[in-house]
Each structure stands twice: as C-alpha cells, then as structure tokens.
Structure 1
Amino acid sequence: MHLLLVTLALACGACALVGVAYTLLAAALAGRFFRRPAAEPASFPPVTIVKPLHGNEWALSSNLASFCAQDYPGDVQFLFGVQDPADPALSVLDALCRAHPEADISVIADVRLHGPNRKISNILNMLPHVRHDVLVFADSDVGVEATYLRQVIGELQQPDVGLVTCVYRGAPDPGFWPRLSAMATNYQFLPGVVTGLALGLARPCFGQTIAMRRDTLEKIGGFAPFVHHLAEDHAIGEAVRMLGERVVIPPFAVSHACVETSAAGLVAHELRWSRTIRRVDPRGHLGSMLTYPLAFALLGAAFSGGAPWAWACVAASVAARMVLKVLLDYALRQRVRDLWLLPAWDVVAFAIFVASFFSSRVIWRGFSFNVDGDGLLSPVQDE
C-alpha cells in the first residue's frame, strides 16, 4: 500500500508539473494569437446574418444590437428565427426593430422540427428567406465589436478559405454562478483552443460564428445533415475541411453570454460540453487532463501525506494559473478580477472532467439525449 501511494503521488506530481508547463505555454501563445493582424476585406459583398433565438436572455438585447451597429459598408440582411410563436425573444426583436429602423430585419416564426437539434431546425426554417450569397450564422448569446463583420469577411476572402469561425470569451450575467461559468470559458476553453491551434492539434469550429459562402453550404449538403448532431458546429467544420477548404479563426474573440443561475445549471452545462468533446474527440479530451495542474498537485499532496515537494507543486500550479488569468485578461482587454475564484473552479472543473467518463447522457434544453461516437443525438426517456 505504501508503494502504491508513493507511485500515485509521484505520478500526480509529474502530471502537475507538465500541467504547469502547459499553462505557461498557453499564456504565451494566447498573447501571440491576439496580437496577430486582422485581415481587411478587398470588397464588401452583401451579407445575410442568420441568428436562431430561443428565450429572452439577460443580455439578448445588447447582443443583438451589437450586430446592428457594424462598421460595414455593404448591404446586410438580418434573419432572426424562433420556433415558438410565443417566444419571449420576439418582444426583444420588436424593440430592436424600433431602435434600428434602418436595418434590414426579418423575423421568422416556424414551428417545424426537423430533428433533435432544435437550433439546426430553426436555421433550416430560416434558410429559404436568405437573399445573399455570403452567410454568417451566429448564436443568440453572442456579442461583437463594430469591426466584427469586416474582419470575418476579410478572412473569408483569403485563398482557399471555406469557413470562418471565432473563439469566444465568457461575458457573465450578474451573479456568482455566471462568473464561474465565464471562468470555464476564459481560462480553460480559450487557452486550450489557442494552444491546440498553435501546435496543430485542434480543428475547431464554433457556433458562435460560422461564416461561409452559399456555394460552400450547398457543397456540404446544407444544414440538414447536421440536424441529429449535438456538436453540429464541429461537424460542419469537418465537412468543409473534407471539401479541401480551410477553416480559419481571426485574431479576436466574440463574447458569449454565461447565463447559468445555479450550481446545478452550471454543472449540467459543463458536463454536457465535456461529454460531447469526449465523444467527438476522445484522445483530445483525455489529453486535456493535463490542463488541470492544481487538481493533480492536490492529489499528489494527499497521496504523499503532505510531502514538501507536493505542496511546492501546489504553489507552482496556483502561480501558473494566476499568470495565465492575468495575461489572458490583458489580451482580452478586460478587468482582472476574481483571482480567488480560479483555484476553486479548477477543482470543480476537474471533478466534472472525471464525471464525463461515466456516461454519455446529456441534458439539452430540458430534454435528455445519448451521444454516440459521431456526436449524434438519440433521445432517451428519463425514468
């Protein structure tokens, strides 16, 4: 038993040190990513922005308004869609139309359901109303800067580019739990993506932005093939790559509203995300365990009976994570706050990571699904 504990302690200590090295590397790579120059468009083609909506989020009005305030001289059509004629998002859209009478806004309310992925069903209902050949799909919880559209179009005009997507940062609603959710996005997801891109290990595509031409969309069969996918954004990106076209990410982050109002809601959201990644990218998900240096350092301290070297690993892990947070906050041009929350979240996040291996069931918009190895959804009946 003593030998087993020593072995476990040393293994956890080694994982913690590798995690510290990864964390410092991610901090450096994130700064380099956001310092890259943005592409400027050679022309300003007409664009249709497609936004599926579901419910009235706290920041929905400001997020939608940010799309209507773009520094883009070309024509822009806005398509907003809901599946419930009584959706509270419709009142926000009424106010948006009054505030921006100059904007070309269309609202589509269509109850048709084409499969278990309700967002894709919503988009399929909107597509017949698209007028332009350049399309930008963006989730309802996304907020953008005024230069967003011109930078996305600039990237789309680069050689061999078939799709442009964007990384995102967490923008918390008021309250404690949304702040924890933003921590998961800003200091776990975001550095992982940037590091994976720099090392050639990541092939991301995010629903926060998917920009493509109409002919590319038609080549991948439209959106209908993805109506059974949970991670439909990942599947769309892979389909575009299969055409031999590139998926690129510009050097800025859009904001993503973090809306979880309870511990249960936060854990359910993060567990759904973690289980989805495990199913669509099992090796990458397993490798992500090295992004939890503090958890491994604490386990090393426990298994070693509180050996001094183990507590040194704990201190190094906390310091590295703090460095990452400060540098990322600087790169994202946001105020450094809640440093004390980061170690607590790291431990919770590791527990969610471990729990993701014990089931493939996820809860999405109140419905339960199993997710298979291809990321496909199959409804399950809760007992």
Structure 2
Amino acid sequence: MHASAYVCAASAVFGIGYTLLASVLIGRFFARAVAEPQHCPPVTVVKPLHGSEWALLHNLSTFCEQNYAGPVQFLFGVHDAADPALQTVDELRRLHPQAEITVIADASLYGPNRKISNILNMLPHARHDVLVFADSDVGVGPDYLRNIVGELEKPDVGLVTCVYRGAPDPGFWPRLSAAATHYQFLPGVVTGLALGLARPCFGQTIAMRRATLEKIGGFMPFVRHLAEDHAIGEAVRATGETVAIPPMLVAHACVESSAGKLLSHELRWSRTIRSVDPLGHLGSVFMHPLALALLAVAFSDGARWAWLIAALAVAARFALKVGVDRALRRRQGGLWLMPIWDIVSFAIFVASFWSSRVRWRGFSFEVDSDGLLSAARDE
C-alpha cells in the first residue's frame, strides 16, 4: 500500500509540473499573430447536420456573418428530408437572404461513420476549390474565413484545423462539459503541440483545397473511422503537406443535458483517443494530478505529506484556470467545478480501458485496434 502511495504521489508531482507548464504554454500559443490572406478565393462551407440543437441557428448564422470578400457557398446535408435541422436552415435563409445556401437530403450510407456518408453525399454539389468542413455545433468569429484562408496560403500547408472552446447550453451538465473543454482538453492540445507530442486534427474545422482532398483519395477511405478527423489529418501529412493549427478559437456547443449523456460523450472521446494514440492516451494519466494525489492520500492512510501534494494539485489546477481564462480573454465562472471534474475525468480515463464499445448518434459500435468501426453485436 505504501509503495502504491509513493507511485501515485510521484505521478501527482509530475502532473502538477505538467499543469503549471500548460498554464504558461497556453498563453504563448494564443499570443501569436493570426494569418491574413493575400487573396479571397471562393469558398464552399460544408456542414453535415443531424437533428435540432439549442444553439444551431446562432452557430449557423456566425458562418453567414463573415468579413470575407470572396464568394461563399453554404452546403448543408442531412440523411432524412424530415430532419428538424432543415427548419433551422429555412430560418437561416430568412435571416440571411444574401447567403448562397444549398441543401442536400440523401439517405445513402457508405459505412458506419454517418457523418462522412453525409459529407460524401454533399461533395458533388460543392462548387469551389477551397473547402471548409465544420461540424453543426460550431460557432465562429467574423474573421474566421479570412484567417483560415490566410493559413491555407502558407507554403506547404495542406490542411487547416482549429482548437475550440466550450459554449454551453443552459444547465449544470453543459457547464461541466465546457469546463472540461477549457481546462483539460485545450491545455492538453496546446502543451502537446508545444512539446511535439501531438498531431491533432479536429472536425470542428477542416479546411483544404480540392487538390489536397483528391491526393488523399477523397473522404471514402474514412467511412469506417471513429476518429475520421484525426485520420484525415494523418492522410494529409502522409502526402508531405502540413496541418496548420492557427492561434484562433472556434466555439463548440456543449449540449450534454444529463450526467448520462455527458459521461457517454466523454467516454467516447476518451476511447477515441485511446484508439488513435494508445501511448499518448496512457501518458495522459499525468493530466489528473488531483486524482493521483487523492489516491496517494488513500494508500498512505492520510499521511500529511500526501495531503500537501493534494493541496498543491488543487493550487496548480486553479493556476491553470487563471492562465486559460487570460489566454482566451474570457472570465469563466465555476471555479468549484474543477475539482469535481478532475475526479470524474479520471474515472472516465480508467473506464476507457475496459471496453472498446462506443455509442454515437444513437448507434452502438465496436472499435478495433486500428480505430475502425463496426456495428455492435447486439444492434
């Protein structure tokens, strides 16, 4: 028991160091300048939709309110012509009559990843060579397209993706989900990039030229991938082009309205990371210094030194919150949520090793060692 206490304590101390480093690196990341484009070529924004969302109209509207001089085509796709998301698109047309909006309703499926099937159904209708793929639950600032195109103009850049902040729906559980995004996901990505340990690509934004899309064989190779965004990024890197991650944020809607939905979403995300980067996922144990310190307290029968490490872990996490809030130039409430989430997220991390099953959009899937989906046996 005492040996376990010392192992947990050492891991917690390492995690405290990581947390303090992350609180510094995140400020440096967002202090960099964002690229401005030399030209404003025509752009097609591709948006797969599925169901109604509380902030869907607002999020879609942000794409129609861009400070961008070039033509923009908005391409929305659903699998079901009766999908309630189309009512929101009708309202979007009313609010933004100048926007060029195309809607594709096509039930064709090419594999278990329904989002990729949706995109494949839309792509033949994309008119422009610069393609920006963005999830339905994403909101952006008015210079989003300018900055994306500016990054895409840089030499050797084949794809541009973006980190994101949480934009919670009303309620406690969405706020907890947003706290996880701000104070666990975001610092982890920025620190991984700074140390050369991360090669991310996020479905919240994937921008590329049509020529790059053709180089990777289109989207058909990704119809069985759970983490299709990561796989797309790796495919672009394999062509010799780079994936740019500019110091800008998009907003990702946090919509989990219950404990069950939040845990299911986070567990799917954790198992996704485990499937694409098992070693990195295992190393992410150091992102949980408070939980590790509390285990040291338990294994040491409440030794004073273990409680001191736990107090230092709490202080480090609060320092990270200050660093993140300053970097994002947003004062986030809910300081008391952080210790709660730290314990919950550690439990999710442990649970991610117990099963390879995920639930996504109402369907259950098994995930193999290559991160490929297949229907769960009981479906």
In 2: Cα distance, 1:165 partner to 1:372 partner: 26
Q: CA deviation at 1:336?
A: 2.7
Mapping of 1:80-99 within 5 angstroms?
80-99=76-95
Which of 77, 90, 94 aligns to 2:73? It is 77
| 1:116-157 deviation line (CA, Å, top 9, x unaligned) | 000000000000000000000000000000011100100000
In 1: Cα distance, 2:258 partner to 2:178 partner: 14
The answer to whether 1:48 aligns with 2:64 is no
SS at match of 1:228: coil
| 1:270-303 deviation line (CA, Å, top 9, x unaligned) | 0111111111100000000000000000000111
The answer to whether 1:279 aligns with 2:279 is no
Corresponding residue for 2:3? 7
In 1: Cα distance, 2:72 partner to 2:326 partner: 32
| 1:81-140 deviation line (CA, Å, top 9, x unaligned) | 111111110000000001101111111111111110000000000000000000000000
| 1:161-210 deviation line (CA, Å, top 9, x unaligned) | 00000001111100011111111111111111000000000000000000
Which of 152, 159, 167 aligns to 2:148? It is 152
- 8 Å Cα contact 1:115-1:228 kept in structure 2: yes
Which of 360, 371, 377 aligns to 2:367? It is 371
Which of 14, 23, 30 aligns to 1:27? It is 23
SS at match of 1:370: strand
In 1: Cα distance, 2:320 partner to 2:243 partner: 27
Which of 281, 286, 291 aligns to 1:290? It is 286
Matching residue's letter, 1:32:
R
Corresponding residue for 2:248? 252
SS at match of 2:208: strand
Corresponding residue for 1:64? 60
In 1: Cα distance, 2:187 partner to 2:275 partner: 21
In 2: Cα distance, 1:27 partner to 1:149 partner: 28
Corresponding residue for 1:353? 349
In 2: Cα distance, 1:334 partner to 1:29 partner: 17
Which of 159, 162, 176 aligns to 2:158? It is 162
The answer to whether 1:335 aligns with 2:352 is no
- 8 Å Cα contact 1:81-1:122 kept in structure 2: yes
Q: CA deviation at 1:335?
A: 2.0
Q: CA RMSD in A?
A: 0.8
In 2: Cα distance, 1:6 partner to 1:151 partner: 53
Q: CA deviation at 1:376?
A: 0.5
SS at match of 2:262: helix
| TM-score between both structures, scaled by the size of structure 1 | 0.98
Matching residue's letter, 1:253:
L
SS at match of 1:358: coil
Corresponding residue for 1:137? 133
Q: CA deviation at 1:6?
A: 1.1
The answer to whether 1:117 aligns with 2:113 is yes
In structure 2, stretches of 5+ residues that fail to align are none
In 1: Cα distance, 2:370 partner to 2:332 partner: 39
In 1: Cα distance, 2:70 partner to 2:124 partner: 21
Corresponding residue for 2:167? 171
Matching residue's letter, 1:207:
G
Matching residue's letter, 1:357:
F
In 2: Cα distance, 1:27 partner to 1:151 partner: 25
Mapping of 1:197-276 within 5 angstroms?
197-276=193-272
- 8 Å Cα contact 1:326-1:336 kept in structure 2: no
The answer to whether 1:188 aligns with 2:202 is no
Q: CA deviation at 1:333?
A: 2.1
In 2: Cα distance, 1:381 partner to 1:285 partner: 26
- 8 Å Cα contact 1:49-1:136 kept in structure 2: yes
Corresponding residue for 1:37? 33
The answer to whether 1:320 aligns with 2:346 is no
Corresponding residue for 1:103? 99
| 1:304-324 deviation line (CA, Å, top 9, x unaligned) | 111111111111000110111
Matching residue's letter, 1:115:
G
In 2: Cα distance, 1:361 partner to 1:26 partner: 31
Matching residue's letter, 1:314:
A
Matching residue's letter, 2:231:
A
